[in-house]
Structure 1
């Protein structure tokens, strides 16, 4: 129906209404839902539509309805329309004329330290960043409309919302949310319609234990086309355990709220434990040293900070111009993540500059490398490593260990790391704890360690 048709002339108590859309006194369009034979407004949580009525709507589907705004007029989205940023490019109804740089979503960066007095940083993401990045991921993962994604990720984060929900919509596929994660639910989905599963290391840790104990579950997981892990580094030991039980090699990718996805192991590429693969299409990644000079060597040993440039970048930190200026320079975004680059271009994340790089005895040591070494010990279930001030070394390496069963001897773990790595990378102290502090995504919050 058009805006001038009888369907749009039905008068409601709050204004004009029609089959699928409703325009009220507050000058806001909102989708309507069918209920008991009548069209009623959608619940408040989905009313993210513009306040202005001066716009026309179009649809990417040839068969979808094309409602127009009231009064009936054809115009494109004006530059002064501040609310067009709320529309979803994957929705069938989008404002025509919206510039790709218009804001799409505002997310809180998970790298933002939550403890006061630091304010959370709102990240303003444009539509072009989401669209281009999802297209790059589809090429890297050979992602098509035939794929069905299943996950149990929170949808207030870019991993769950952008990749896990908007990604399938953009491809024309579907997404099945498990609610709360369980290995049994994941197995049931992958044995049924699902072809891909997205998860975080905490989920894959539980999955590894369950598939080792249940051959039937292992067979269900083995039917997946792709298992993808992100949001935190996946320990090499988990890679091997899941691979041995199911035959599946997990694909790792690396991203941030500000940049979306930067790197990924390709679906057809080598799934090397501890690495996040190559930069995705249209995204430039480089390593720089402390002085800001570009690191040209690719020896998988020289550590540098990751800087990113491309259409995947955010616009700004919301109402934080000083933070935006500090993070950006010459079009490059400083991620704060430290990494090395191998001869074939594979990126290996070492850790965050603020919490995971330990300067001890004149050496720059990545906490992740020590954590992976400790996880290879059979008596270690979980571990976190951080630096603590030391008068002699500058910083000393301290490990917090959740034992697998009975706690192993602390000196045994110290010697284990010295044997696998080098003596200067061994922990100087080992603390045994019942659990590690984590955020909603399962990341260890090292600032909360005692």
Structure 2
């Protein structure tokens, strides 16, 4: 059996034994065996530049050496691995450092809840708490939003395909137009205000409004600062809980630790996950204003909410945020990506591309059906891992590790440009 046959055989294992629900392995059809920093390698030794970063769970790169060292040391010393929500030294250190490095410098006062290991756990707990605090059941979400795959999170998600997977009615939610959804000239907050103020709108006062400041899975749609401030004011004026889902955009993806910092808003509840552990270890946080922390002990719990291995790496990850240097570096790299994407759009106007994004969450939206998927396939074959986003996979998305060095970033962008050139040439030949 030659190398190609062996490779196909190893992938057949997943065809035979894993559920049809698998998805990313279809987009990136190889067997990965090693990963470091912003690179991955498959069983044939082929190197890939990673512009995917675990869908945002690896902001600090694969096998970050500082975190890995701390984790190995903790395991060798027989540190507690599983503890539910019992008190441990690992949790104590994380809470102390998170408050000292993240919350206090930003004048933020929040209680930290550990709801479970994933982003949807954070969202579910936020929705449940908002309903408990207000005594109301309805929650407003937005068009193109994505908040998770469990029933409560799906109910405030806009994607029809993902919603249909629920198999049951998704109740007690209302979808409102996100910023720019009705065109640049229309302020969608006017529509929201009318809905809330008009006694004939057919809607009741919601318990909460949940929002992503930058919709990553929905197509890289960014809410403007005035819009976010206006949304906060609407919530304050009506006694509505404001929930910011920062699961993918938090932990520095947009340049600042929280994606909403530039807007200067103070959400009632904040959802964090993905890169909060820093190492790709499952972990999620729900940040709660102290005055609304009205949970009864054990009223919301989960077996894996005390993931001490995640506390160890998460505490080390916070070291990146002790100064402004890391944030400035992210913004610098983000502008480099933005320039490259705009260069591609200008070079191929016939593709009608639109550059979107902020920080190191960037992409190009294309009108032609299937084009973004074809670009992603060609890039993968060329050694660059990129996914698509948008409800119709119309956006080619770039979200490399925040720690990627400039040389690898430029290399990945060069591969992308070369793929675009090849794509356009092939399209011309097929006409």
Please give the range of the TM-score, normalised by the shorter of the 2 chains: 0.3 to 0.5
Of Structure 1 and Structure 2, the greater strand share is in 1
Of Structure 1 and Structure 2, the greater helix share is in 2
TM-score (norm 1): 0.33
Mark the structure with the bigger radius of gyration: 1
